[in-house]
Structure 1
C-alpha cells in the first residue's frame, strides 16, 4: 500500500461511517487490514468491517509450499480480533486444503448474521461440511467448491437463500432435491461437476436461473414456473443402460415462460427419442434466445434441434455449434428429406443467427437457406466454417449467396480467418 499524505488521511477519516464502510467493503481483507498503518485513528477500523474476503492475495509469495498454513493463520488472526457482525465471508484460494480449522471458522460464524458465504477447497481431498453451516438462517448467497454435503436431520431449509452454487461437490440425489425444495426464495441454482446424483428432480416455483454442467445426469424439471434461463452442458453422453426419463417432450414441460435456453456438449443427444415430433406439445412464446451443440452424425439429434426451433416462434437469437466428423456425417437422402420436411415455422422476430464449425454439408446449407427465407427481421447471420482450403470455403459461401433472404437488411458475415468480411 502506497504512503498517503496527511491531508488525504484527514479527509478520509472525516468521511461518514457508512461511506467508510462502503469503501472498505470494496477492498480485499488483506488491504483492509493494511489500512491500520494509515494513522492511529485507522488502527482498529478494520476489526469491525463486516465483509471478510480471503484469497491467494493474502498469502505472501515467500510462503511457497506453506501457503495453506499461512492462510489458515491469517484467517484465524482476523476472526480472533474481529468485533461486530460478519455479513460476508468468502475464502477462495488455490492453497486451501481440508482441515479442522475450517469447522472452527464456521462454528464462530454461526453466531453471526452471515448473509453471503463462499468456501473453495482446491486440493483433491474434499471437505465435509459441518452441521453448523446449516444453521446460518440469514444466508442469501451460498457457494461451496470441493466439499461433501450431508444435511442434518433437523435442517428446515434456508428461508432467505436466493442463490446457490455447487462445484466439485459430493452429495446424494435426496440431499440436493431437499435442499432446493426447502429454500422458498431461491432464484439462482448453479451445479458444476457435482458427484453423486444420477437422477435429480428439481422443484422450486421461485427459481429463475438454472445452470447444470458436468457428467450426464437425468433431470426432471418440476414446478419451475418462474424459470427464465436454463443452461445445460453435458460432458459425456448418456450410457445406454443408464436410467433416463429426460427427453425432448418433457424437458421443458414445466417451464413455459423460459426466455433463454442453452444446451451444449452432449445434452441434445440426451433428449433423443424414437419418434421425434415436429413440434413440442406446447409453444414457447417467451423463448428469445437458444444455443445448442448439434452432432451432424446423428439424424435423430438433428430432428430434436428442428423440433425445438419449430416450437419457438419468437426467437430473437439462435446459436448453433456444429460438431462431428464429415466422413461419418453423410446424411442419407431419405433422412435429409425428412429433416427438410420437418422444418416448418416462420421466425418473425429473429435478428441474429450464429452458426459455428460448419462442415459444408447439404443439411447445413438447407438449414441456412430455411432460416434466411423465413426470418423477415433478420439483421445478421454469422457463419464460421470448419472447411479446409480457401477454395472450398469460397465455394461454400458462393452457394449461400444464391439463397433468398426474407429480410432486405440481412447480411451474412464470414468469420473465417481468411475470409473475414460481410457478404
Structure 2
C-alpha cells in the first residue's frame, strides 16, 4: 500500500466532549425538548452532565410522564411522587413554564405532596402555570400559587380556586383558562385585580358568580357551560372584541335582567359575538347587526 493510500486517522483527546462544551444557551433548549425523565437521566452521562438538567427553565410533567407509572400498580403512587419530588427539590434557578398532570390512576390522599411542589414553584418566578388534574379528587389550589406575582398564563382543570382574603390580584396575568373549576360559594365578594388580562376562557365551571374580577384590558371572553356566570360582571371591559357564550345564561333573566341591546351597548369594539341556540331562543325578538353562531 502506497503512502498516499494509507488511511489517515485523526485522534482527539479522550476527555474532549463537543456537546458538553457547548454554551448553556444551546444545551438548555436541547434538554427542554426532551421528555423530562430523559432530561433528568442525562445526569448519569458524566460529571459535567450531572447537574445540567437542574437549570432547565421549562418543567413539563405531563401525561406522557405519568403514563410511565400507570402500568405498574405497586409503583404508581410512590414512583410518581418520588420522581417528581426529585425533580422539584433538585431543580435550581427560575422556571418560566411549569406543567403538571395529575393522573386519574394514581391515588392522592390529600395532595400534600402537590402542595409542597407549589411552594417550591412559588419561589422560582414562574411565568406559565398549567395544572391538569385528571384525578377523581378535585385539587384545591394552595395559597402559595397566589403569591406567584410573575404569572402571565394560568390554566387549571378540575380544581378549587379560592383566593385568600388578602389577595390583591395577579399584576402580570394575560391569559386565563379554567375548566371544571369550582369557585366555591363563600368568597365574600373578594375582587381579583387582573390589570393585564387579555383572554379569559371558562369552561364547565361552577359558582362562577363568585369569580369577581376587575380587568379593563380584557379582549377575548369565552364562557362555556357556566350557567351561574354573572355575564354583566364579566362584560365590563370596553376593549372586548371577541365574545362567545354557550349554555351560560340560564340565570340571566332571573338574576341580571338585561337585554341583548344592553349587553352590546357595553361592547363598543366588538367584532365577533357568538352565542348558542338557547341564547337565540331567549332573545329571538331582538335584532343585531352582526350575529354569529358557534358550536364548541
Mapped partners of 2:19, 2:152: distance in 1: 31
Q: Secondary structure at the match of 1:155?
A: coil
Q: When the two structures are superposed, what TM-score results if normalisation uses the length of structure 2?
A: 0.79
Match for residue 89 of structure 1 among 84, 95, 98: 98
User: CA deviation digits over 1:372-414, x for unaligned, max 9?
Assistant: xxxxxxxxxxxxxxxxxxxxxxxxxxxxxxxxxxxxxxxxxxx
Distance change in 2, residues 1:15/1:175 (3 Å): farther
How many residue pairs end up in the alignment?
274
Alignment of 1:24 with 2:31, yes or no, is: yes
Mapped partners of 1:269, 1:176: distance in 2: 34
User: CA deviation digits over 1:84-107, x for unaligned, max 9?
Assistant: 222222102433645111111111
User: CA deviation digits over 1:166-197, x for unaligned, max 9?
Assistant: 11111147859855x50111111111111113
Distance change in 2, residues 1:30/1:230 (3 Å): farther
Alignment of 1:125 with 2:137, yes or no, is: yes
Distance change in 2, residues 1:319/1:135 (3 Å): closer
RMSD over aligned CA atoms reads: 3.1
Residues 242 and 273, structure 2, Cα contact 8 Å, conserved in 1: yes
Please list every run of 5 or more consecutive structure 2 residues that lacks an aligned counterpart in the other structure: 1-15
Mapped partners of 1:113, 1:124: distance in 2: 30
Distance change in 2, residues 1:162/1:177 (3 Å): farther
User: CA deviation digits over 1:302-347, x for unaligned, max 9?
Assistant: x44xx12xx23xx8xx5677xxxxxxxxxxxxxxxxxxxxxxxxxx
Q: Secondary structure at the match of 1:106?
A: helix
Alignment of 1:33 with 2:40, yes or no, is: yes
Residue aligning to 1:52: 59
Match for residue 206 of structure 1 among 217, 222, 237: 217
Within a 5 Å distance, the mapping from 1:77-226 to structure 2 comes to: 77-95=86-104, 97=108, 99-172=111-184, 175=187, 178=190, 181-198=192-209, 203-217=214-228, 218-220=230-232, 221-226=234-239
Q: Secondary structure at the match of 2:92?
A: coil
Residues 225 and 257, structure 1, Cα contact 8 Å, conserved in 2: yes
Larger Rg: 1
Deviation at 1:161, TM superposition (A): 0.9
Q: Secondary structure at the match of 1:252?
A: helix
Q: When the two structures are superposed, what TM-score results if normalisation uses the length of structure 1?
A: 0.57
Residues 199 and 219, structure 1, Cα contact 8 Å, conserved in 2: no
Residues 173 and 200, structure 1, Cα contact 8 Å, conserved in 2: no
Distance change in 2, residues 1:152/1:37 (3 Å): same
Which structure has more RCO (C-alpha within 8 Å, separation ≥ 6)? 2
